[in-house]
Amino acid sequence: MTQHDAEHTDPTPLRIAMVVFPRLTQLDFTAPFEVFARVPDAQVAVVSETAEPVVSDTGLAILPTHTFETAGAADVLFVPGGPGQIAQMTNDAMLGYLRRTAADAAWVTSVCTGSLLLAAAGLLEGHRATCHWLSIDQLSLFGVEPQSSRVVVDRNRITGAGITSGIDFALAVVAKLRGEELAKRLTLQLEYDPEPPFRTGHPRVADAALVEAARRKSAPMLEERRRQSLAAAARLGLSAGG
Question: In whole angstroms, how large is the CA radius of gyration of the chain?
Answer: 17
Cα–Cα distance list, 75 to 16, 45, 93, 199 (Å): 6, 11, 20, 36
Catalytic residue flag (residue 112): yes
Nearest residue to 77 (alpha-carbon basis) of 162, 172, 169, 158? 158
Label residues 115-133 b or e (16+ Cβ within 10 Å = b): bbbbbbbbbbeebbbbbbb
Q: Is the dihedral of CA 146, 99, 220, 26 positive or negative?
A: positive
Residue 81, amino acid = G
* Helix locations, 47-193, DSSP H: 85-88, 92-104, 114-120, 166-178, 180-189
The active-site residue, picked from 18, 20, 79, 112, is 112
CA 30 to chain CA centroid, Å, is 11
Q: Output DSSP code: residue 43.
A: E
> Catalytic amino acids?
112
